[in-house]
Amino acid sequence: MRQAISRRAEEIYIGNGKVPGHDLENWIQAEGEILRESVEGSTPKNSIIIKVAGVQYVGEYDTESSGGYVPGEFSAGDPISVRFEGDKMFVQRANHTELETTVVKKMTARS
């Protein structure tokens, strides 16, 4: 953590034109940024598993931007419309909106 803060403080120093005398300010700004990132990065992700043509996709989604999706909205074996764009998986919901997820794992389903 200390190394990450130090690196970020140096980036801030350089970005501000290498003005001397602001070490403490740069450190405090860097520390705040790094701590914020570590807290945000530790937030547990929600995920959904969808099987398409024998492949299981694990898609993570953000609850706040899920349009009210709640786990259990789909049942195992339900026919579901899915589309992919890069690492994004869009799952068609019964209310005709899409649940946007980021594919974090792709597994060949075993019999």
Structure confidence by residue, pLDDT tens digits, 8-53: 899 889 888 999 999 999 999 989 888 887 776 655 568 888 888 8
- Domain parsing of the chain, residue ranges: 2-41, 46-108
Residue 68's pLDDT band (boundaries 50, 70, 90)?
Answer: confident
Given a cut of 50, is residue 1 above it in pLDDT? yes
Q: How confident is the model at residue 98 (pLDDT cuts 50, 70, 90)?
A: very high
**Helix, strand and coil percent figures for the chain, each rounded to 5:** 30, 30, 35
Give me the chain's average pLDDT, please. Answer: 85
Please classify residue 108 by burial: count the beta carbons closer than 10 Å to its beta carbon, then call 0-12 exposed, 13-18 middle and 19+ buried: exposed
58, burial (CB in 10 Å: exposed 0-12, middle 13-18, buried 19+): middle
- Answering whether pTM is above 0.85, one says no
